[in-house]
Amino acid sequence: SKRSDWWRGAVIYQVYPRSFQDTTGDGYGDLKGVTKRLGHIASLGVDAIWLSPFFKSPMADMGYDVSDYCAVDPMFGTLEDFDALVSEAHRLGLRIVIDQVISHTSDQHPWFIESRSSRKNPKADWYVWADPKPDGTAPNNWLSIFGGPAWEWDGVRRQYYMHNFLASQPDLNFHNPKVQDALLDTVRFWLDRGVDGFRLDTVNFYFHDERLRDNPPLVRDPDATSHDAPDVNPYGMQDHLFDKSQPENLGFLKRFRALLDEYDDRTSVGEVGDGARSLKTVAAYTSGGDKLHMCYTFDLLGPDFTATHIRKCVSAFQQAVTDGWVCWAFSNHDVMRHVSRFAKTEDEQERVAKLAIAVIASLRGSICLYQGEELGLPEADLAFEDLRDPYGIRFWPSFKGRDGCRTPMPWEKGEAHAGFSSAKPWLPIPDEHRHMAVNVQDGRTDSVLGHYRAMLAFRKAHGPLHDGEMTFLDSNRDLLAFIREKDGEKLLFVFNLTREPQEFRLPGTDVRPVDLPGFSPRSAGGILGLEGLDAFCGRL
Ligand code: TEU
């Protein structure tokens, strides 16, 4: 059958349904709300939507703790609502990618309830159970990302079970082929419902070392990039050799891909957080065309918005991941919004928002945008009482958690709760966000929203940006300069991410400026002059 490569170079817009649009007046967003606002998403010119989890869940981790993979949580609506969303999205030319959180389930999932009921039941080894050490302590030194040991004692089985995240998110045992079969069945359920792809949550956490060996302490790699600060979270002080990224995963990913390939045009993007090993993991997961289509990494989710950092990350991937495809993102529902990470003052936030989309839309790879970044929203500054994220509540105040990027979308400045809901929203909407609402920026081409639309249209209009080659030029190391090239069409990009004016010697005399939305630096005598936070595009 015919397969298209629509996902190569695609722009994917992440919707966090709980905070997108409420239609029932309970203060939580829902699927009908997403459908209602599809016009806004389509107006951006993106190719696909990644929907964060909307499955049945006790919501201990905001839906990343699933208790039924084939049901919609009543908070978000019904399966019929989902079907309506998919068909309306498809009518608008938008693909739907859903979030599969299959490394772990909720402790309320019937599989876990059965598994924990005894040591001898049909699902007894569907999770990672282990006996205590002779002194009664946990089987090994593995840690949970959300704090404390990765092991929880169960009084009925008188054994420990493993969890990489909350104790209420027990880890599934992928070494058991029956677990794989059951999960692939749920994937098929959604394929049959017409979804176009899957974002695989924590895809490198599926398998653990069966011998349960202790992790060694971390000899910190100065080049490692992660948004987890080891000085805050002890998790970062361990080298996670044995609790994740095991070689057996390749076999499962092949089974997963074979299933997707029974259908036309489906895609997958695996979330890989593997510290200094991310490159190797991504290369392994995306090589050969028989595993994942794409991987999503954390490299650009840190505080560093410099030419050196971006050049280093992107060129490292180009070398290591030869036949795979990477998905870049500056923001998501787990990290501080990038305008707040990158801007040094409030005054430069709008400029940074416009520059950041120009940069990411010019990179080789697919890109994920996170709801609200098209408005230039900064991180919401929340009080402890407002927090809902268990990760933030645990590590406050050294880490304030992930609620600051999860506050509801501001749609209409003048409406109650900015048009998000008729009731008090589950997280407060900051006043400054209200002034940046969609209806304030809509129709103004110089707004961040207008700029996003123009920049994404620019990316669509230029073939080299879609899947063209990328070559860095480093005559001025302070500038991020590269050529994107496809079928003889060559575009030069020069970004000044510093606050000082910079000069760049253009390669050759025949560089014709191309209008890059929002930027218009001048050149004279083969020398390009850029202001601070400026960008240039030219045709070679
Ligand atoms: O996040 C996975 C994840 O591992 C990181 O966000 C984590 O904080 C750390 O950087 C890992 O090194 C995914 C989801 O995106 C997140 O919302 C969930 O809480 C988590 O999985 C558990 O399902």
146 lines ligand 1 (CB under 6 A): no
Output the six-digit token pair for 123.
């699902």
The whole-number average pLDDT for the span 361-389 is 98
Q: What is the tens place of the pLDDT at every residue in 205-243?
A: 999 999 999 999 987 755 554 446 667 788 989 999 999
Q: Whose CA is closest to 331, among 296, 363, 362?
A: 296
The sign of the torsion formed by the CA atoms of 148, 152, 155, 160 equals: negative
Return the CA Rg of the chain.
23
3 pLDDT band, cuts 50/70/90, is: low
| Segments making up each domain of the chain, as ranges | 11-107+174-459, 468-539
Q: Which residues contact 138 (CB under 8 A, 6 or more apart)?
A: 132, 149, 150, 151, 160
Inter-residue contact 349 to 337 (CB < 8 Å) = no
| ipTM (interface predicted TM) | 0.94
pLDDT of 2 higher than 90: no
Instruction: Name the active-site residue from 262, 264, 290, 515.
Output: 262
Q: Whose CA is closest to 101, among 120, 123, 73?
A: 73
Planar angle of CA 90, 21, 440, nearest 5 degrees:
100
The whole-number average pLDDT for the span 261-270 is 97
61 lines ligand 1 (CB under 6 A): yes
Output the six-digit token pair for 159.
């054994």
**pLDDT for residue 312:** 96
The least confident of 25-34, 384-393, 421-430, 500-509 is 500-509
Which atom of ligand 1 lies closest to the CA of 333? Answer: 17
CATH number for the segment(s) 11-107+174-459 = 3.20.20.80
Q: Is 154 a catalytic residue?
A: no
Q: Is 262 a catalytic residue?
A: yes
Which burial class, exposed, middle or buried, applies to 527 when counting CB atoms under 10 A from its CB (0-12, 13-18, 19+)? Answer: exposed
pLDDT of 316 higher than 70: yes
Which atom of ligand 1 lies closest to the CA of 335? Answer: 6
**pLDDT for residue 402:** 97
**pLDDT for residue 233:** 85
Give the Å distance between the CA of 281 and the centre of ligand 1: 17
The 3-state DSSP class for residue 370 equals strand
The 3-state DSSP class for residue 255 equals helix
Which residue's alpha carbon is at the smallest distance from atom 6 of ligand 1?
334
Q: Which residues contact 298 (CB under 8 A, 6 or more apart)?
A: 225, 226, 227, 273, 278
**pLDDT for residue 230:** 67
272 lines ligand 1 (CB under 6 A): no
Output the six-digit token pair for 4.
């298209």
Give the Å distance between the CA of 101 and the centre of ligand 1: 10
Output the six-digit token pair for 128.
């990672």
Which atom of ligand 1 lies closest to the CA of 227? Answer: 10
Give the Å distance between the CA of 474 and the centre of ligand 1: 35
Q: Whose CA is closest to 510, among 495, 494, 492?
A: 492
pLDDT of 467 higher than 70: yes
**Distance from CA of residue 100 to its chain's centroid?**
13
Output the six-digit token pair for 538.
């030219």
Which atom of ligand 1 lies closest to the CA of 235? Answer: 12
Instruction: Name the active-site residue from 73, 201, 374, 403.
Output: 201
- pTM greater than the 0.90 cutoff: yes
CATH number for the segment(s) 468-539 = 2.60.40.1180
**pLDDT for residue 222:** 56
pLDDT of 1 higher than 50: no
